[in-house]
A and B are shown apart, each in its own frame.
Chain A
Amino acid sequence: MTTPLLEKLQNSRNVLGLVFMLPAAVLLLLFLTYPLGLGVWLGFTDAKVGRPGQWIGLENYIFLAGDSVTQLALFNTLFYTTIASAVKFFLGLWLALLLNKNIRFKSFFRAVILLPYIVPTALSAIAFWWIFDSQFSIISWGLVKMGLIDTYIDFLGDPWNARFSTIAANVWRGVPFVAITLLAGLQTISPSYYEASAIDGATPWQQFYHVTLPLLTPIIAVVMTFSVLFTFTDFQLIYVITRGGPLNATHLMATLSFQRAISGGALGEGAAISIAMVPFLLAAIMFSYFGLQRRAWQQGGDDK
């Protein structure tokens, strides 16, 4: 009789599986799932640091919807994410294509290019703070010496300058990630496609548009989803370089929630700002999901 034996095996699998899952599950339930739920709850309360809150329904959200600083932070976050992600995509793709060519010192280039991504962001952000200094900026110095400008640029004192400066720092940090992951995708494309299309008389641009891009689309979808996710929830760069200033011009949702909840002590309000970010993140994850579906479909697999 094999059925009871199989059943027993299945049972022991379940018991053993539970035991093996236990350490990870306990930690994640306690420090990830529970706080997520707690965050949703806090968003509906007027909790302050050191004082449990009372249920106040949608009051936080109603207040935030009418709060001009929160509106500005939402605008900044969307602006920051859109511009930075787009620039990261184009520069990253360009860099990946360059690295995919038959060049000398390829592995050296590839290794060195990833450096901005692996060092602590908070620390490289300090370097950018110094590079963007209003009095001693090396960029201003260079431009003055070249005769392009007369006075030093106030990189972080003017709202729009500050926005673009922080976007530049974010792009600097994110381009290596996009480039290296896209390079991995490029390397899976067989050279025979390029040879065949070259024999058929395709120009390099046509090769890029009709061979590279379609074959790279699935990985682009995934990489850009991650990139959007990280950019949208960015905290370190802004906190270190501008602290949200000048005049809240660079506050993102994440830095604003920190300011309200931790510096200001209004836990409930800060949690509500965090939770308000979730719909946008879900949109990004859906995008990733459909990107993966398309990948399976392209490889001739069925949608599971």
Chain B
Amino acid sequence: MAPDLDTANEPITLEARTVDRREMLERLAKLGAGSLAVALASGSSLAPIGRAVASNSTSQKFRYGMVIDTKRCVGCKACMVACKAENKTPPGVSYTVVVENGFGERPGGRPLFLTKPCFHCNEPPCVKVCPVGATYKRKQDGIVVVDYDRCIGCRYCIVACPYQARYFDFGENYPAVTDKTAYAGVPSPEYRRFRTREEGKSPVGNVRKCTFCLHLQDADGGYDKASGRWPACAKTCTGHAIHFGDFNDPQSEVSLLLTQRQPVRLKEELGTEPNVYYLL
């Protein structure tokens, strides 16, 4: 299947957009993408990101990630709703959020939305700090997960995450669950454990986060967009802004997108190496 590469937009090259370079730098500086800003300012190639994309020299079978095209995002928040519906997250827990003007505003005052799931970093600070190894990066596909039965609920990982991608489950429930309607009996498919909400039982008292809907993977760890086995947010995105895929596959939609448009990642200076890229 030929990837949808957003041909409506001209590819941004440094030459074509020199007028906007300062503006771009300002935006990047605001983002904290210091190294990228420096690279652009000096006119050098974007070596760090290029390398990260090209390096397949990992034992991982898959390197799942996203490329989120902010020009295609209309800010409808359908991804947030789809994620809620899929993962049955309680109030105060949202594995993905749509932040308005998180990158600053677009020229002309148009809004610029930042859709932010967990970035499943290559160097996740959250994993390093967990005292019991309850949160870890899966060897086979790089997805950062939480073992709810091991997590002691200390919330150090929330503190360490530079992107606030983690949420604590305080045991609060939507009225449909509190009132014990039929919805209360619908389990969350997360991690294929099919848990329903029970007081004091995990995931209540645990830290929760985006899993790239890994419960939809097939036995080999693959996803299948055609049959709907695809992260809920990407599947539902009305503007086709959220592209999901495997960066280890150079022909995947996400890999190709990175070669055609100018990607940025948040807070490069922290060395976390997120697997979610933005096209501005």
Is this pair of chains taken from one and the same complex?
no
